[in-house]
Amino acid sequence: MTTLVARFLMIVGAFALLALVIGAQPVSAQQPTMVNPQASSVKEDQLFQQLDRISGRCTLPDQKACTIEQPAGRDWRNFHGVTLRWIGGIAILGILAVLVIFYLWRGMVRIENGRSGRTIVRFNAFERFVHWMTSTCFIILAVSGLNITFGRPVLLPLMSPEAFTAWSEWAKYAHNYLSFPFTLGVILIFFMWIAGNIPNRVDVEWFKRGGGIVGHDRPPAYRFNGGQKMIYWIVVLGGTAVAVSGYVLMFPFYGTGIQNMQVAEITHGIVAMLFVAAMIGHIYIGTIGMEGAFEAMGTGTVDLNWAKEHHSLWLEDERARREPTDLQRRASTTPAE
Amino acid sequence: MARMKFLCDADRCIECNACVTACKNEHEVPWGINRRRVVTINDGKPGERSVSMACMHCTDAPCQAVCPVNCFYTTADGVVLHSKDLCIGCGYCFYACPFGAPQYPKVGNFGSRGKMDKCTFCAGGPEADNSPAEYAKYGANRLAEGKLPLCAEMCSTKSLLAGDGEIIAQIYKERVVKRGYGSGAWGWKTAYREIVAS
C-alpha cells in the first residue's frame, strides 16, 4: 500500500516537473535574434575625439607604422607651407627694407673725429677665429636652410628639377654637418664673452640715447654696448634653440615621436628665420653701417677714436689696465739709459 | 577618368596580412620597408578592428605640398607618385603624411634616410611604363597593364577595395545596407574630406 502511494506521488511529481519544464520553455526560446556586431566596435570618429591620432598594434619592427592616422600632419603642412613662409618673408625682407631705408636716411656712421692713426686690440686671434668659424657656418646653414623653405617657390623655377635636387641634397648635407662647428662656436662664444655681456644700467642709458646709431649722441659703453649684448644673447639663446631642435631632427625618432618631430621643425624654422633677420642687422652694422667697425673682427684692432666714440668706458678700462705695465716697462728701461 | 582610391572595410578585415605580403613580393620591396601594413585597434578587447593602411593617395596631398624639391606628382587617375631621382630624403613627407605612408631605406641619422619609398597604387613612377628602371625603383606597374593594386585584388575577404572611388564607395554602401552596419571608410575623411556611410 505504501509503495502504491509512493508510486502515485512519483507520477504526480513527474507531471509537475514536466509542466514546469514546458511552462519554462517559451522563456528560454526568447533569445535575441539580431546581433549587432557594431555595439562595441571601435569607430574612427570616437578615437579622434579621445586622441588626435589613431594607433594600434602591428607586427612590424618599426613601431611608427602602428600609428595609422595622424591628421596633425595637415596642421604641420600648413605651418611649413604658409605660416613659416610668412614669418620668414616678413622678418627677412622686412629687416632688409628697414636697413635700406635706414642707410639712405642715416648713411654710414662715421668716426666723428676722424681716424687717430693709433689702434688698440679689441679681439684677439682666438676670438676672431671663433667668430669667423661660427659666422661662416651660420651663413651656409642659413642659405641651405632657407632653401628648404623658399627654394621650391624661388629657385626651382629658375633651374631644372635635377639641378635643384643636386643642389638641395648638397645643401642638406652641408646643413647637417656644419651644424657641429656652428654649435661648438656658439658654446665658445657663450663662455668667451659672457663676462662682458651681462646687461646693466649703462645699457639702459645707452638705449635711451639711441646707441650712437639713431641719433648723433655717443653714449658711453663698456666692451660690449646694449646692441652688442642683444646680438650676443640672440646668438647664445637662438643658437641653442636651433642646435637642440636641429639635432632632434637630425637623429629622428630617438626617444621622440612624430609629434615631437613636428614641434622640433616648427621651433627650428621660426627661431632660424628670426635669427637670420637679426644677423642681417648685425652684418649691416659690422660692415657698411659703421665706419671702423669691421676692423674689430677683421684685423682685431680698432682706431682709438672709434673706441672713444663707441666704447668709451672700455677704452678707459683698457688704458687703466695697460698704463701700469707701460710705466713698469719705462721704469725697467730707464736705468739702462 | 577614374579617381583611384583605397577603402578598407574594417568589419571584414581578418588581419591575415596577405596584402602586406603580396605588396612586398609584387614590388620586391626591400627589407625594413612596408608600403602597406595592417594595424589592429583595441587588440584583444571587445570590438577590436583591423585596418589595412598604405598611402591613401590623398586629394591635395600633404606630402606633395611640403616636399622642398617638388618630387611628387598626381597622375590623371588621382594617384600620388614621386620621383626617386629628385627626392633628397629630407623626411618632411613623413611628418606631413596623415597615414605614415612614406618609408626610408635607412635609419636617417645625419639626414641619410635615402630615397623615400611608398605605395604607388601599383602604378610605378615617372620612368617608362614597366621598364626595368621603373621596376627597380618603384616596383610593378599593374595599372599600366590594366590591373588594379594586388593587395586589394587578392584580399581573401574583399575587405580591402581599390579602384575608382565612386565604385568602391558604392560597393561599400551596399554592404552596409545589406548587413546593417559598417564602421565607416577609415581615413577617407582625412584623405579625401568625405565620409562614406557609417
Which of A300-304, B119-123, B159-163 has the lowest average pLDDT?
A300-304
pLDDT of residue B146: 93
Select, from the ranges A38-47, A101-110, A251-260, A271-280, the one with the highest average predicted confidence (pLDDT).
A271-280
Query: What are the phi and psi torsion angles at A77 (to 5°)?
Result: -60, -40
pTM reported for the whole predicted model: 0.83
Residue A195 has pLDDT above 70, yes or no: yes
* Model pLDDT, residue A36: 67
A265 vs B contacts (CB less than 8 Å): 92, 95
Q: Is the pLDDT of residue A20 over 80?
A: no
CA distances from B47 to A41, A42, B11, B50 (A): 4, 6, 10, 10
| Residue boundaries of the structural domains of chain A | 73-336
Section B121-131 average pLDDT: 94
Query: DSSP secondary-structure letter at B4?
Result: E
Q: pLDDT confidence of A189, banded at 50, 70, 90?
A: very high
Residue A324 has a pLDDT of 62
Does B102 reach chain A within 8 Å, measured CB to CB?
A: no
Does B194 map to a domain?
no
Q: Minimal Cα distance from B61: which residue of A?
A: A74
- Residue A55's pLDDT band, with cuts at 50, 70 and 90, is confident
Q: Which residues of B touch A71 (CB under 8 A)?
A: 98, 190
Q: List Cα–Cα distances, B163 to A25, B6, B153, B155, B185, in angstroms.
A: 52, 7, 10, 14, 14
Q: Kindly report the nearest CA distance between residue A257 and chain B, in angstroms.
A: 10
Predicted pLDDT of residue A335: 47
pLDDT for position A4: 62
Q: Check residue A31 and give its pLDDT.
A: 55
Measured between beta carbons, which residues in chain A are less than 8 angstroms from residue B91?
249, 252
How far is residue B101's CA from residue B119's CA, in Å, rounded to a whole number? 7
| pLDDT value, residue A10 | 67
Strand partners, B162: B6
B37 has which bridge partners?
B53
Contacts of B184 in chain A (CB under 8 A): 43-45
Say whether B51 and A68 touch across the interface (CB within 8 A).
yes
Per-window interface: B 163-192 vs A, CB < 8 A: 180-184, 186-187, 189-190
Cβ of A55 and B39 within 8 Å?
yes
C-alpha cell at B93: 613627407
Which chain B residues are Cβ-neighbours of A251 within 8 angstroms? 109
CB-CB contact of B132 with B123 (8 Å): no
Contact residues for B174 (Cβ-Cβ < 8 A; gap 6+): none
Distance between CA atoms of residues A47 and B10, nearest Å: 14
pLDDT in the model for residue A17: 62
Compare CB distances from A251 to B69, B109, B190 and report the shortest one's residue: B109
Question: Given pLDDT bands bounded at 50, 70 and 90, which one contains residue B77?
Answer: very high
Identify the pLDDT of residue B52. Answer: 94
- Domain assignment of residue B10, yes or no: yes
What is the reported pLDDT for B106?
Answer: 82
Model confidence band, residue A218 (pLDDT cutoffs 50, 70, 90): confident
A10 or B112: which carries more pLDDT confidence? B112
Tell me which chain B residue has its CA closest to the CA of residue A46. Answer: B183
Which one, of B190, B196, B197, B195, lies nearest residue B53 by Cα? B190
Residues in chain A closer than 8 A to B34 (CB atoms): 60, 62, 65
Question: Contact, B120 vs B29, CB < 8 A?
Answer: no
Q: What is the ipTM of this complex?
A: 0.86
Q: How far is CA A186 from the centre of its chain?
A: 13
Domain count for chain B, please give it: 1
Determine the pLDDT at residue A28. 45
Q: How confident is the model at residue A5 (pLDDT cuts 50, 70, 90)?
A: low
* Most A-contacting residue of B11, B48, B88 (CB-CB within 10 A), to test interface: B88
Q: Does B105 touch chain A (CB under 8 A)?
A: no
The CATH number assigned to the domain holding B106 equals 3.30.70.20
For residue A289, give how far its alpha carbon lies from the nearest alpha carbon of chain B (Å). 35
The band of A42, judged by pLDDT with boundaries at 50, 70 and 90, is: confident
- Of the candidates A42, A60, A80, the beta carbon closest to that of B49 is on A42
Distance of alpha carbon A31 from alpha carbon B127, whole angstroms: 62
CATH superfamily of A73-336: Transmembrane di-heme cytochromes, Chain C (1.20.950.20)
Task: Quote the CA–CA distance of A156 and A139 in Å, as a whole number.
Answer: 21
Of B38, B88, B189, the CB nearest to A168: B88
Beta bridge partners of A121: A301
Mean pLDDT of the residues in chain B: 91
**Testing the interface with A: which of B95, B109, B119, B189 to mutate, by most A Cβ within 10 A?**
B95
- φ/ψ (deg, to 5) at B56: -90, 0
Closest by Cβ to A148, choosing from B34, B90, B109: B90
Q: Out of A11-20, A315-324, B114-123, which region has the weakest mean confidence (pLDDT)?
A: A11-20
B18-49, pLDDT tens digit by residue? 999 999 999 999 888 999 999 999 888 888 89
User: Under an 8 A CB cutoff, do B69 and A151 touch?
Assistant: yes
- pLDDT for A125: 94
* pLDDT attached to residue A139: 96
Q: Is B55 a domain residue?
A: yes
For residue B179, the model assigns a pLDDT of 86
Average pLDDT of the segment spanning B90-117: 87
Q: How confident is the model at residue A337 (pLDDT cuts 50, 70, 90)?
A: very low
Alpha-carbon gap: A231 to the closest alpha carbon of chain B (Å) = 29
Q: What's the rounded Cα separation, in Å, for the pair A309 and A219?
A: 8
Which range among A109-113, B22-26, B92-96, B169-173 shows the weakest confidence by mean pLDDT? Answer: A109-113
By C-alpha distance, which of A245, A80, A254, A246 is closest to A177? Answer: A246
Using CA coordinates, name the residue in chain A closest to B107: A252
Structural domain containing residue B100? 4-164
- B198 and A173 within 8 Å at the Cβ level: the answer is no
pLDDT of residue B197: 64
Higher-pLDDT residue of A98, B109: A98
Is B62 part of the contact surface with chain A (CB cutoff 8 Å)?
A: yes
Q: How far apart are CA B133 and CA A51, in angstroms?
A: 42
Give the separation between CA B106 and CA B115, rounded to whole angstroms.
9
Q: How far is A72 from chain B (nearest CA, A)?
A: 7
- Our CA-based measurement puts residue A221 at a distance from the nearest CA of chain B, in whole angstroms, of 43
Higher pLDDT, A250 or A40: A250
Average pLDDT over residues A224-250: 94
Task: Please check the confidence at residue A75 and state whether its pLDDT lies above 90.
Answer: no
Residue A43: which of B32, B111, B184 has the nearest Cβ? B184
How does pLDDT run across B135-185, given as a tens digit for each residue?
999 999 999 999 999 999 999 999 999 999 999 999 999 999 998 888 888
Ramachandran angles phi, psi of B73, nearest 5° = -150, 155
Residue of B nearest to A77 (CA): B96
CA distance B98 to B115: 20
Residue B43: inside a domain: yes
